[in-house]
Amino acid sequence: MQKQAVISIATVVGALLLIVAVALAVVRPWERPEPVAEAASVPVLDESTHILEDAGEGAPVLVEFLDYECPSCGQFHPIVEDLRERYAGEVTFAVRYFPLAMHPNAVPAALAAEAAAQQGSFEAMHTMLFDRQQEWAGTDGAAAALRGYAEELGLDLDAYDAAIADPATLERVQLDADAAAALGAPSTPTFFVDGEMLELQRYEDVEAALQAALEG
């Protein structure tokens, strides 16, 4: 009986340890971005934020926190581009990085965009990353593909390589990711209109928020 009791206890303990191990593997609490400041003190639009369309002072501002490897961001990209075309001169459009740990190539893609930005080609790389998302997302050869895009865009590859390797480039990406965490962005894409986070239920909700902002 005593031997059976010991075996039974060992079985229970082993099962509990397995449950904990599985939970940690799924949840990965160490990968969750921690807020770096109170949301009220973190600007949605930072002075270093990349502006795609500047409608000038007083215009509504749409800021998108995005992950270049995120399928949902890829689906929203043509929608945002359509809105940019139709609301040109009326709405300011800006993007910020929010690479998620579940996407292994999200940080390399953000670095590629930032390296291109240092050569004045942020928007061109931004567009190419989404237009060709199926080519590099989820692959082992993403870094080479991204460098190939830089070459296609006519970038100085030595400067591009130096920027990719420069810790300051990663710090610039992390700046946006920290802001997203502090502002409570739950996922990607997360949109803010004039500093207010949108709770999206449909694709049309983004345009509805812009219309509301324009109507005051």
**Domains of the chain, start order:** 50-215 (3.40.30.10)
Residues comprising the chain, all counted: 216
User: For residue 177, what are the CA distances in angstroms to 31, 56, 78, 135, 207?
Assistant: 12, 26, 23, 24, 25
Average pLDDT score over the chain: 86
Q: Is the pTM of this model over 0.85?
A: no
Tell me the per-residue pLDDT of 164-216, one tens digit each, with 9 for 90 and over. Answer: 999 999 999 999 999 999 999 999 999 999 999 999 999 999 999 999 999 98
Question: Among 199, 174, 171, which Cα is nearest to 185's?
Answer: 199
